[in-house]
Structure 1
Amino acid sequence: MPLSSRQQAVVDGWLPGAEVVADHAWGLVDTTVLQVRHQGQELTVKAGGPDNHHIGREIDAHEHFTAPLLPDRAPRLLHADRASSVLVTTWLPGHLVEGHAAEVQPETYRQAGELLGRWHGQASRPDEGWLAEQRDRAARWLDQPHRIPPEQVDLIQERLARARVERVTLVPTHGDLSPRNWLVHRGRISLIDFGRAAWRPAATDLARLEAGAWRDRPDLEAAFFAGYGQDPRATDWWPDTQLAEAVGTAAWAHQVGDEPFERHGLQMLSDALAG
Structure 2
Amino acid sequence: MPPSLTPAQASLVQTWIGDASPVADMSWNLDTVVLHVRTAAGERIVKAAGPKAHHHLLREIAAHTGATGPLVEAGRTSRMLHADSDAGVIVLEYQDGVLVEGSPAEYAADTYRQAGELLRLLHDQAARLDDELEERENAKALAWLERPHRVSSDIAAEARRVLRAAPARPVRIVPTHGDWHPRNWLIDQGRVRAIDFGRFAWRPPQTDLARMDARQWLIAPGLEAAFFDGYGDDPRDDTWNLEKLRQAVGTAVWAHQVGDEAFEAQGHRMLAAALTAF
Question: Which secondary structure does the structure 1 equivalent of 2:82 belong to?
Answer: strand
| Counterpart residue number, 1:25 | 27
Q: State how 1:233-272 maps to structure 2 within 5 Å.
A: 233=236, 235-272=237-274
Cα deviation code 1:78-124 (max 9, x no counterpart): 00000100000001000000000000100000000000011000100
Q: Does 1:74 align with 2:80?
A: no
Deviation at 1:40, TM superposition (A): 5.2
| Counterpart residue number, 1:159 | 162
User: What is the distance in 2 between the residues matched to 1:182 and 1:154?
Assistant: 36
Matched to 2:67, the amino acid is: F
User: What is the distance in 2 between the residues matched to 1:229 and 1:147?
Assistant: 39
User: What is the distance in 1 between the residues matched to 2:31 and 2:270?
Assistant: 25
User: What is the distance in 2 between the residues matched to 1:74 and 1:203?
Assistant: 21
Matched to 2:163, the amino acid is: L
User: What is the distance in 2 between the residues matched to 1:238 and 1:197?
Assistant: 19
| Counterpart residue number, 2:63 | 61
Question: Which secondary structure does the structure 2 equivalent of 1:122 belong to?
Answer: coil
Matched to 2:141, the amino acid is: A
| Counterpart residue number, 1:44 | 45
Q: Is the 8 A contact 1:30 1:48 kept in 2?
A: yes
Q: State how 1:88-127 maps to structure 2 within 5 Å.
A: 88-127=91-130
User: What is the distance in 1 between the residues matched to 2:8 and 2:51?
Assistant: 12
Query: Higher mean Cα deviation, 115-124 or 262-271?
Result: 262-271
User: What is the distance in 1 between the residues matched to 2:273 and 2:77?
Assistant: 32
User: What is the distance in 1 between the residues matched to 2:52 and 2:220?
Assistant: 38
Report the count of equivalent residues: 273
User: What is the distance in 2 between the residues matched to 1:191 and 1:213?
Assistant: 17
Q: Does 1:128 align with 2:131?
A: yes
User: What is the distance in 2 between the residues matched to 1:147 and 1:177?
Assistant: 25
Q: State which of 201, 219, 224 in structure 2 corresponds to 1:221.
A: 224
User: What is the distance in 2 between the residues matched to 1:51 and 1:270?
Assistant: 29
Question: Which secondary structure does the structure 1 equivalent of 2:168 belong to?
Answer: coil
Q: Is the 8 A contact 1:249 1:261 kept in 2?
A: yes
Matched to 1:76, the amino acid is: R
Cα deviation code 1:238-267 (max 9, x no counterpart): 111110011011111111111111111111
Question: Which secondary structure does the structure 2 equivalent of 1:151 belong to?
Answer: helix
What runs of 5+ residues in structure 1 fail to find an aligned partner? none
Matched to 1:7, the amino acid is: Q
User: What is the distance in 1 between the residues matched to 2:246 and 2:130?
Assistant: 18
Aligned-residue identity in percent: 49
Q: Does 1:84 align with 2:90?
A: no
Q: Is the 8 A contact 1:34 1:46 kept in 2?
A: yes
Deviation at 1:50, TM superposition (A): 2.1
Q: Is the 8 A contact 1:164 1:237 kept in 2?
A: no
Q: State which of 176, 191, 201 in structure 1 corresponds to 2:194.
A: 191
Deviation at 1:229, TM superposition (A): 1.1
Q: State which of 179, 202, 205 in structure 2 corresponds to 1:202.
A: 205
User: What is the distance in 2 between the residues matched to 1:267 and 1:92?
Assistant: 34
What runs of 5+ residues in structure 2 fail to find an aligned partner? none
Question: Which secondary structure does the structure 2 equivalent of 1:254 belong to?
Answer: helix
User: What is the distance in 1 between the residues matched to 2:182 and 2:4?
Assistant: 26
User: What is the distance in 1 between the residues matched to 2:167 and 2:121?
Assistant: 29
Deviation at 1:51, TM superposition (A): 3.2
Q: Given the two structures, how large is their TM-score scaled by the length of structure 1?
A: 0.98
Question: Which secondary structure does the structure 2 equivalent of 1:55 belong to?
Answer: helix
Root mean square deviation, CA, Å = 0.9
Question: Which secondary structure does the structure 2 equivalent of 1:25 belong to?
Answer: coil
Question: Which secondary structure does the structure 2 equivalent of 1:194 belong to?
Answer: coil
Q: State which of 3, 6, 9 in structure 2 corresponds to 1:4.
A: 6
Question: Which secondary structure does the structure 2 equivalent of 1:70 belong to?
Answer: helix
Q: Does 1:146 align with 2:149?
A: yes
Q: State which of 222, 231, 238 in structure 1 corresponds to 2:234.
A: 231
Runs ≥4 residues deviating over 3 A? none
